[in-house]
Structures are given as C-alpha cells and as structure tokens.
Amino acid sequence: MSWDPSLNTGIEEVDNQHMKLLETIERLAEVNSREDERDALESILVFLEGYVINHFATEEELHKVYDYPKRDLHKHLHDDLIKDMEDLKVRIDEEGLSPEVMKETNEFLMSWIINHISNSDMDFAGYYRSVTVGA
C-alpha cells in the first residue's frame, strides 16, 4: 500500500485506521477495474462506510477527551462526508454500480481522506502533541 509517511499523525490508533481506510479505497479501485470481481464492490462499500463511521467516532472521542478547541468544526467535516456517502448510496440505487460511478466515487473518497488527514487531522495531531508532551 502506498502509505505516505507525511500522513502520520503520531497517534497510533488513528494512523492504523487511516492506513486501513486508504487500503480499503485502493481495494475498491482494484476491484472496480476487474470484470470478474465487481460483485465484491457492494460489500467493500458497506465495510468502508462502517469503518468511516467508526473512525470518526474514535477521533471525536479523542477530541472530547483532550478538549480540542476546533472539535465542532471537525465534526461538521466528518458529518459532511457521512452525508456524501449516504447520497452515494441513493445514487447507486438509482444508477447502479457502474464503473464510471465507482471511479468517480473512488477519486472523491481518496482525495477527501488525504486532504482531511493532511489538514484537519494533522491540526488535531499538533494540538494533541502540545497537550500530551511530558504527560
């Protein structure tokens, strides 16, 4: 998997979850490109949605525990993605899981996650380091 070390937050549980998220999105792209495996797409999408919800809950709990000042804003961003994933399910119900829809979904998810880790999760990581140093 193409894990970029610049995405490390230094919070082990969060980093492990981020790796699993990116790995799952890469798996979606791989399966989407293979004619004989397209049946697996739906179960990977279901897994991904559950994993995203669980990951966001992990982060939001940390934000609460460490009293992160930007936690409301961060939660809004998480909620927006969950909403986007719900909209996607509706679209798939209507249009089916075409390779085009999946490709678009994949690119969207990949760039959303990488952008979110690089900016929002990294902002929390900096805060986390500042409050836990020497603790």
CB of 75: closest distance to Fe ion in angstroms? 9
- 59 touching Fe ion, by CB under 5 A: yes
Q: Which of 22, 32, 121, 128 binds Fe ion (CB under 5 A)?
A: 121
Q: Considering Cα of 28, then 22, then 46, then 85, what sign does the dihedral take? A: negative
Q: Is 96 left (phi over 0), alpha (psi -120 to 50) or beta?
A: left
Using the minimum distance from each CB to Fe ion, give the nearer residue, 73 or 100: 73
| DSSP secondary structure letters along 69-92 | TTHHHHHHHHHHHHHHHHHHHHHH
- 15 touching Fe ion, by CB under 5 A: no
The DSSP secondary-structure symbol of 133 reads T
**What would the x/- binding string for Fe ion be over residues 84 to 113, using CB under 5 A?**
------------------------------
Using the minimum distance from each CB to Fe ion, give the nearer residue, 21 or 41: 21
Closest by Cα among 88, 89, 81 to 111: 81
Binding residues for Fe ion (CB under 5 A): 59, 121
